[in-house]
Amino acid sequence: MKQNADNYKGSEVTMTPHGEVDALYMALALEEAATAAAEGEVPVGAIIVSDDRVIARAHNRPIALHDPTAHAEILAIRAAARYAGNYRLSGTTLYVTLEPCLMCAGAVIHARIGRVVFGARDPKGGAVVSLGRVFADTRLNHHVDFTGGVMEGMCAEILSSFFQQKRL
């Protein structure tokens, strides 16, 4: 797979070599996002998979934890590293309902995650295809394959519904 924005298809379920599997794991990430929404957190969920096994799942918790770094991706990476007994997560895939921000994209690179699959684009903070293209930067010491737009409509809907409720 190429490591640039060409992987972003923008369809409900991106048909990649991983197609149905990506949708299955993204559905689990959406469950985590729903938990975040129920807790009053921005509804973003993340799953980390290794060898066809979920090794970590998390959702946004910056409000509850009083921690601006408690994004779903960061919490999932921490849990996966504990599970693996290693801060390097080579060969894993991160599924996340929203395009990772710069902080989370950096953590993915430092953790050596092999692939990221995200649902909705983040036009205000996305560092993969929207505002930046961190994973496409060939100067970095680790390169991450990515696919965007997996279950994009559902991932975007949970976010927009959450913010509509906040505005009421």
Its pTM stands at 0.89
Question: pLDDT for 123-164, tens place per residue?
Answer: 999 999 999 999 999 999 999 999 999 999 999 999 999 999
The two most distant CA atoms of the chain are separated, in Å, by: 46
Question: pLDDT for 10-38, tens place per residue?
Answer: 333 344 557 789 999 999 999 999 999 99
Band of pLDDT at residue 7, cut at 50, 70 and 90: very low
- Residue positions annotated with a catalytic role: 73
Nearest to residue 52, comparing CAs of 27, 25, 74?
A: 25
Task: Report DSSP state, residue 148.
Answer: B
At 62, list the tokens. Answer: 């910056």
Contacts of 24 (CB under 8 A, 6+ apart): none
